[in-house]
Chains A and B, each alone.
Chain A
Amino acid sequence: MAFCKNGRFRNLNLWKIVPVILFFILWELAARYGPFAGSAVFPPFSAVLLEMAALFKSGVMMKNLASTLGRVLAGLCIGTVSGIGVGMLMGWQEKIYQSLSPIISLLYPIPALGWLPLLMLWIGINETLPVAIISIGVFFPLCYNTAAGIRSVDTQMIRAAHILGASEKRILFQVILPNAAPQIFTGLKLSSGMAWRMVLAAEMVAIPTGIGALIMKAESLIRVDIIMSSLVVLSLMCLFFEKILGVMEKKLIGDWTDNA
C-alpha cells in the first residue's frame, strides 16, 4: 500500500476498492453471526461465490447467461440503430423534429416495462418479446439524446463548414455527428443499463430461459444463493457493458473532450 509523506493514500483507487471489500466482509459477518445466521434466506457471501462457481462449472449459468446476453445484444443493436437513426433525422431536419417530437415526448415517459403486457398480447410469449421490449427501452433515450446532441451543435461551426465548401453529407458525418457523440454516448450508457434491467424483467415474467428465468426457478426452490449468484452475474455484466462503452467513448472522443 503506497502512502505519501503526509499519510494520504497515493493511489486514490483504494478508496473505490476498500468500501466494496468492507461491504462483502459485512455481508459475510451478518450472514454468519446476524439474526438470520444459518438460515437459507440469507447465505453468506462465500456461499454465494461457491454456488456461482458450481453453476458455472455445471454449465447452467453459462447456458442461461448466453440466452440473456443474446437477447440483450439483439435488443441493443435494434434499439441503437433505430434510436440513432431517428434521432439523427430529428436533429438534422427541423420539420421532422417538429413532427415527431410530440409523439416521442408522449411515449418517452412510459416505463419500458409498461409495454410488456401489450407486447405479450401483440407478439406472444417467444424469443421476440424480450428483444422487442429492450429495443423499445433503448430506442427512446438514444433517440432523444441523439436529436438533442445534434441540435446543440454550434451553428457557427456548421456555417464555417459550409463556407469551407463541405457538402451536407460531410457536415453531418464529419462535423455534426462527432460533436453530438458525447451526448449519444450518454444515451448509449443509459440504454445499456436499461437493457439488462428489462431483459431480467421479461425473463422473470414470460420467458423460460435466461438469468431472469433462473432466478424465478431458484425462488420457487427457496435457493437464495442461486438468486444472489444470478444477481451478481447480472451486475457484473452491466458493469462490463458500461466499461466497454467507456473505453469506446475514450477511444473515439477522449482526445478532444474532458474524457482524455
Chain B
Amino acid sequence: MPEIQLRNVTIRNCRNLNLKIKDGEYFVIVGETGAGKTTLLNMIAGVEEYTGSVLIDGVDVKPLPPYKRGVGYLFQELALFPHLSVMANIGFGLKAQGYPKNVTAKKISFLLELMQIRHLAGCYPHQISGGEKKRVALARSLAPSPKTLLLDEPTSGLDSRTAKYVSTELHDILKKMGVTTVHVTHDLKEAKRISDRIAFMANGRIEQVATPAAFFFDPANTTAAEFIGVPNPGPP
C-alpha cells in the first residue's frame, strides 16, 4: 500500500502544505469548516490544480489523471449517479477502466456482500436510505481496488448512533483491506476512536500532526486547544 507525501503544496487558501502519510495508515484530518480539509483531499485525488508536489509511493503524480493515481474518493455529498442502479453505480468505474465482464461481476458481487447491500442491488439511489447510500458510494470507490481511499466526512448527516456504527465499520473494513485511508471529519470523538494519526488544520495550514493521544493531551497551540476544547497550552 502506498505512502503519500505532500511537498510545499499550495492551492487556494492552503499554502505550503507538507505532510507524510504512512502506507496502510488510517489518517484522520480534523478542523473547522473552511480549514482546507476537502481541498487537501481534492489535491491528492487530482481533481483540483495545485502547485508543489504530491507523491504517491515516491512518484510525483501531478501529470497523472485522477484515475491513474490509484485513489478512491468518497465525496461528502456522495455524488452517486441517480440514473444508475446500485449495482451499476458500483460497476461504473470498472466498466470505465475496461475490466472484463466476469471480473466486474465478481467484484460487484464481493462488494455488495462486503457492504451488506446485496438486497439493494437493483434499487436506484433515491429509493434507499442515507446510510445505505454511503455504503453504495463506498463500494463504488473501492471497486477499482484503489490503494488509497479519501473519505470526506463519511458520517455527516447521520444520527450519532449510526455515525458511530458506520465509522467503526468503515475503519474495520479498510484496515482489513490494508488501504491507506485519509478520513476528513469534524467529529473529534470519531477521530479519536478510529485514527492512527490525526492532522489538525486551521486557516489552510496543517497546525499539528500527532497520534490521537498526543493530540488530545498535548495540543500544539492555542487554536488546536480551542478546537478540542481544552485549556490553552502553557509555555513548554
Contact mask for chain A residues 143-165; partner B; CB cutoff 8 A; 1 contact, 0 none: 00000000000101101111111
The interface residues of chain B lying within 8 Å CB-to-CB of A164 are 67, 92-93, 96-97, 140-141, 143-144
**Contact (Cβ within 8 A) A156 B75:** yes
The interface residues of chain A lying within 8 Å CB-to-CB of B71 are 163
Knowing A156-B75, A179-B83, A256-B126, say if A162 contacts B65 (CB, 8 Å).
yes
Q: Nearest Cβ in chain B — how far from A160, in angstroms?
A: 4
Which among A163, A253, A257 is the interface contact of B67 at CB below 8 angstroms?
A163
- Whether, in the assembled complex, B81 has its beta carbon less than 8 Å from a beta carbon of chain A, the answer is yes
> Within the assembled complex, what's the spacing in Å between the Cα atoms of A156 and B66?
13
> Within the assembled complex, what's the spacing in Å between the Cα atoms of A256 and B144?
25
- Whether, in the assembled complex, A166 has its beta carbon less than 8 Å from a beta carbon of chain B, the answer is yes
Contact mask for chain B residues 69-88; partner A; CB cutoff 8 A; 1 contact, 0 none: 00111010101111110000
Nearest residue in B to A167 (C-beta to C-beta)? B96
Interface size of B in residues (CB-CB distance below 8 Å): 28
The interface residues of chain A lying within 8 Å CB-to-CB of B124 are 255-256
- Whether, in the assembled complex, B108 has its beta carbon less than 8 Å from a beta carbon of chain A, the answer is no
Nearest residue in A to B88 (C-beta to C-beta)? A174
What size tier do the contact residues of chain A reach? Answer: 20 to 34
Most buried by A among B71, B83, B124: B83
Q: Nearest Cβ in chain B — how far from A259, in angstroms?
A: 12
> Within the assembled complex, what's the spacing in Å between the Cα atoms of A253 and B82?
10
Q: Could you name 27 residue pairs across A and B whose Cβ atoms are closer than 8 Å?
A: A154-B77, A159-B45, A159-B47, A159-B75, A160-B75, A160-B81, A162-B66, A163-B66, A163-B141, A164-B92, A164-B93, A164-B141, A164-B143, A164-B144, A165-B93, A165-B96, A165-B97, A165-B144, A166-B96, A167-B96, A179-B82, A179-B83, A181-B83, A255-B124, A256-B84, A256-B124, A256-B126
User: Nearest 6 A-B pairs (CB), nearest first?
Assistant: A164-B93, A165-B67, A156-B79, A166-B96, A165-B97, A160-B79
| Chain B interface residues toward A at CB < 8 A | 45-47, 65-67, 71-73, 75, 77, 79-84, 92-93, 96-97, 124-126, 140-141, 143-144
